Amino acid sequence: MNWNIPSLKELEKHFWRCTACGTCRSAYDYGPPPNARPICPAGTEFGFEGYYSSKGKAAYARGVMDGTLDFDDPEFLEAVYKCTVCAGCQNQCQVDFKPHIPEVIEALRREAVARGAGPMPLQKNLVQSMKNYNNPYQGPRRVRTEWTRPFKKAKTPIKNINKKSAPILFYVGCTGAFNQVARAVPTATAQIFQKLGLDFGILGENEVCCGSTAMRLGDAAEFKRVATANLETFRNLHEERGVNTIVTSCAGCYRAIKKDYTLSSDFDKMMAGIKVVHTVDYLYDLLQEGKLQFEKELPWTVTYHDPCHTGRHLNKFKVDKDGSELWEGAYVDIDESECLYDKPRKLLQAIPGVELVEMDRIRANSYCCGGGGGVMTGFGDWAAKNAGIRVAEAMETRAEKMVTTCPFCHYNLNEGAKRSGSSMATHDLTEIINMVLPEKG
C-alpha cells in the first residue's frame, strides 16, 4: 500500500509564505472583543512572540531546510514538540498557504524522527508501546477489553465481530479502552447502542491503534504500519462480516480514519461500501429521524468544549489550484460541513432540562484542551495546566458541567480541573445521553 505523506521539502513553498504577521495569536470572529482571546496553547505558555507559536514553527521549518538549524540542539527539538497540533493558528491565518500549518509542524517532526532525534524521550516510550502492544499505553492485549466486563456480568455481552457478523463496527480506540477515566466513554456508547437495539460488534483484543498519535509525533513508519493493518481489517470485515458502518466515539480515531487514512493510495478501494462516522453523527441522524427520544429530565447547565479533532481539523480549505479564481495556490474558501459543531449542541439541546451556555472560544475558535499532539505524554504538567485555563473559561459561563466528545479531552479537562482545584466536571456527550435514554423497551 502506498502512502502519500508529504516531506518537509514538499511543503517548502507553503512555509516560506508565513509573513510573521501574528494574526494567529488570537481567536476572533472578525468582530470586537471578547472573542479575541489567545488561541495558541504553546504561545500562551511559552510566549507568542518567542519561537513556540506557528510563525516560529514556520521559521523553524525554513531553518531546517536551509541547514541553519539542526535537531541536535535539545532546546530546538523540545520547541518542535511543544505544540498540541491543535490547528488553532491555521484557522486564524489569512495568508494563502492553507491548509499547511499543522502539516508543516508534523513534517518538521517527521524530519526530526528521520534524523534520529525525535520524538521526545517520554514520547519514544509511547511509540515503542505501539510496536510492542499495538497501543500507546503499554497495555497488554487482554486489558483492552476490561471495560466490557460489566456487560458480560450483566449478561448483555458485546458481540465479538471477529466471530459474529454485524453491520456496525464500534471502533473503541486505545484511550477509551486503556485510560481508566476515559473508559466511561466506550461504556456509555455501548450501553446506548444496546438500549437502541443496534446490531454492533467490537474487535476486542484484536483492535489495533488508529495511529493518530504516531502521526502527530512524526513517526510516519509506525502510522503506516497500523493504518495499513486497520484498512485491511476494515476491508475484511466488510467482505466477511457485513460491516458497512464504522462508528467511533474517539475524536482522534475519527480524524485519523477520516483524514489521515485518505493519504493511502488504496483508501477508496479499501473503504468502498464502508461509512465512517463519529457517534455524534450517528445519534444526531437518529434524532432527526425521531428514533432517539429522551424521556428523563436533566436539569443541568452545561457548556460544550469542541475537540480540535472533530472540529477544525476536519474543515476543508478550498485552494485555487490553477489561478482561475484569484491566483495559483490562493486560499479562497472554507468548507466546514464535516466539522461537528452543530450536531453535539443540537443533541444537548434536545435533552429536557439541559441549558447550553457557551464559552467565548467555540467551534473553529475553540481553545485546545492541551492534550493533543503528544503533549499529554511528553509534557503532562503543561497539558494539565492548559486544561485548567479551559476549565476556568468554562467557569465564567455559569455552567455546572463541561461536555465534550473526545476521550482525550475528557481525561485532560478532568485532570486540569483536579490540579487547579476546580469543582468543574467534564462528561462525554455519550454519558449524558446514556443518562436520559430509556432502557430498551
Residues that bind ligand SF4 (CB under 6 A): 18-24, 39-43, 53-55, 57-58, 83-89, 92-93, 95, 101-102
Choose between 238 and 312: whose C-beta lies nearer to ligand SF4. 312
CB of 441 to ligand SF4, least distance (A): 46
CB of 262 to ligand SF4, least distance (A): 20
Residue tagged 480540535 (cell numbers): 308
Question: In this complex, which beta carbon is closest to ligand SF4, that of residue 108 or of residue 182?
Answer: 108
Q: Which is nearer to ligand SF4, 54 or 434 (CB)?
A: 54
Pick between residue 295 and residue 381 the one whose CB is nearest to ligand SF4: 381
How far apart are CB 119 and ligand SF4 at their closest, in Å? 15
18/376 with CB nearer ligand SF4: 18
Q: Which is nearer to ligand SF4, 241 or 318 (CB)?
A: 318
CB of 130 to ligand SF4, least distance (A): 23
Give least dist CB 42 to ligand SF4, A.
4
CB nearer to ligand SF4: pick between 57 and 345: 57
Shortest CB 317 distance to ligand SF4, Å: 13
Least distance from ligand SF4 to the Cβ atom of residue 207, Å = 28
